[in-house]
Structure 1
Amino acid sequence: MPIEPSFLDELAALETSLTRETDSPRQGEQQSPNVGEGLTFSDYRRYAPGDDVRRIDWRVYARTDQYFIKQYEAERNLTVHVLLDTSASMDFGEGDAHKFEFGARFGLAFAYFAAAGHDAFRFATIGTDVERLDRRQSNRGELLRLLDRVNDIDPDDRTAFADALAAYAGTIHSRSLVVVVSDFLADPDAIENGLAALGDNDVLLLHVVAPDERDPDVAGDTVFEDPETGATQRTYFAGSTAESYRNRLSAHIDDVAARARRLRAEHVVVDTDADFFESFAQVWRRQGDRERRRSRG
């Protein structure tokens, strides 16, 4: 099911809601999960003659009857890089629970919030190689174009994490948040090598998992097929076999999370049966909390 342009309007409503959570002025520094030019940190000061009136926060004025200027840390010059996995294993799930569509929505949402906060975004797909989809324009028109590009993608083949992430790392030349959206169904060593190549950048792994992946709706004599290699295996899927499968999947997710921690990357599991906007808001707040901890040293 294609992602409709109205999705961007829904993101706008969510961005307004999340901004409202922290837009009450107070003395000193104002912490915010909203992506401003400094991602999560901004402060307020009273308006003074000569200030650019376009920087007045009118929502604050409506509540306080006072003019406040919202200041961003423009010198931090954040760029948000979204890397979206297009391997065949992402082509799994039905309707809103489809892994690729759910992951693509997350990627587009991060790009939208970057643009809304006056930050730059870059958007690429990763598979056996890397394909840049953006044209270095961080605005609504570019988001609409990206939405169309994403809708045209048919997940296929596999993802070579070590090579793809290393290749993309060479294109990063400023302080960045790198958001990798994937099901990470690959060799953990290759995933770790790819993450290591991203160096000191702030890295967030969004680990997409579908409900039927955790608990397959099959029983008895079953033939399983690897969507990336085409290899098949016949087994009797029940009892101890089903439990062993679930344990192995859980262990793999934990392994990816542990390797991410070793490299100081954030790892978040997102279930595709969750409400998208609630799920994204939770991840966004979590990223804001992480940035606040980093800013405190």
Structure 2
Amino acid sequence: MAIEPSFFDELARLERSLRQRTDSRRQGQQQSPNVGEGLTFSDYRRYTPGDDVRLIDWRVYARTDEYFIKQYEAERNLTVHVLLDTSASMDFGDRSENKFEFAARVGLAFAYVAASGHDSFRFSTIGTGFERLDHGRSTRGELLGLLDSVNEIDPEDRTDFVESLSSYARTIRSRSLVVVVSDFLEDPDAIEDGLAALGDTDVLLVHVVAPEERDPDVVGDTVFEDPETGATQRAYFAGSTVESYRERLSAHVDEVEARARRYRAEHVVVDTDADFFDAFAAVWATRDAPSSRTSRER
């Protein structure tokens, strides 16, 4: 897999429109010209007509005989936690439609927009447990490092949602949004138990589905293999068998959504053959502001 650094440059073109759609309670405060609680000094810039004169630094004026405005930046008050599924079933689909590559782009995009909006991000992979990939800096350099780390991942084994989400939940110590990016090919009960472990934290499940999963490009006598266990099963894939398969896949997706609703988590399905940037904008638009839930505080 090779996601290029130019991916972030393309994301930058989406940033303004995405930010306009974001509820301030979840995105956190943006850069502001107003001095107030929760704002920290960032830099100076020259005064231009229309600026608030109250922000002129008169000490600098006394030294330079020029007007400079103090710029302030909102303190980061939201942490976006990205949890990327690295199970073997994620390594499915052609390169342009590969589930893991698409999911990795979604996770990196959330981290990018969080950092651009002056919020913090944490980026981890989940499998039998979790592995944190970031170093807590939430910067452009951090993002480039993450991109390199993600490009080196080869999905394997299976994901234990109960263990990975339970153990990760113990690390959450501030107002947070947890974004789980996965194909969720797991027992819905296990997914629900993982969601329960996250408690009152706001959660978004990004459910990636490859077009070949919806409509397998096979017909007749076929041997199917479970990529996570290696188990195989022979079946004659045609007619009623195809229809039954599609119904079971649709029912599973609906069941994952139902379990998410039970814990007031957001759930959105994304097809990996969609244009990525259109798909990400749609995912971003589904993010509700925290409702009556109280974000985890520890």
Category of TM-score, reference length = shorter chain: 0.7 to 0.9
Q: State which structure, 1 or 2, has the greater radius of gyration over its C-alpha atoms.
A: 2
Q: 1:39 and 2:37 equivalent?
A: no
RMSD: 2.8
| Contact residue 90 and residue 99 of structure 2 kept, 8 A | yes
Unaligned 5+ runs, structure 1: 23-31
Cα distance, 1:42 vs structure 2: 5.3
2:32–2:74 CA contact under 8 A, matched in 1: no
Q: Deviation at 1:47?
A: 6.3
Give 1:170's aligned residue: 170
Distance 1:53 1:101, change over 3 A: closer
Q: Helix, strand or coil for the counterpart of 1:137?
A: coil
Q: How many residue pairs were aligned?
A: 271
Instruction: Describe how 1:138-157 pairs up with structure 2 within 5 A.
Output: 138-157=138-157
Would the aligned equivalents of 2:220 and 2:237 in 1 still touch at CA under 8 Å? Answer: yes
Q: Deviations over 1:255-289 (max 9, x none)?
A: 000000000100000110100001101111221xx
CA distance in structure 2 between the partners assigned to 1:185 and 1:81 by the alignment: 21
Aligned-partner residue type, residue 205 of structure 1: L
Q: Distance in 2 between matches of 1:216 and 1:95?
A: 16
Which letter maps to 2:121? Answer: F
8 Å contact kept, 1:41–1:292? no
- Structure 1 148/292 Cα, relative in aligned 2: closer, same or farther at 3 Å? same
SS at match of 1:18: helix
Cα distance in 2 for residues equivalent to 1:41 and 1:130: 26
Q: TM-score, normalised by structure 2?
A: 0.83
Matched, 1:284 2:284: yes
The answer on whether the counterparts of 1:43 and 1:71 sit within 8 Å (CA) in structure 2 is: no
Equivalent-residue separation in structure 1 for 2:100 and 2:285 (angstroms): 23
Whether the 8 Å contact between 2:41 and 2:73 is mirrored in structure 1 is no
Rounded to whole Å, the distance in 1 between the matches of 2:158 and 2:44 is 46
The residue type equivalent to 1:186 in the other structure is E
Deviation at 1:16, TM superposition (A): 3.0
Aligned-residue identity in percent: 66
Equivalent residue, structure 1, for 2:241: 241
Q: Could you tell me which amino acid in structure 1 is paired with residue 232 of structure 2?
A: T
The equivalent residue for 2:63 is: none
CA deviation after TM superposition for structure 1 residue 180, in Å: 0.2
Deviations 1:194-230 (A, max 9, x none): 0100010000000000000001000000000000000
Hey, what does 1:29 align to over in structure 2? none
Q: Which residue of 1 aligns with 2:186?
A: 186
Instruction: Specify every segment of 5 or more residues in structure 2 that has no aligned partner in the other structure, as ranges.
Output: 56-70, 294-298
Question: What code does the residue aligned with 1:273 have?
Answer: D
Between the aligned partners of 2:122 and 2:28, the Cα distance in structure 1 is 21
The match for 2:84 is: 84
Corresponding letter in the other structure for 1:228 = E
Equivalent residues of 1:88, 1:227 under 8 A apart: yes
Structure 1 residues 154 and 241: CA distance shift in structure 2, 3 A: same
TM-score by length of 1: 0.83
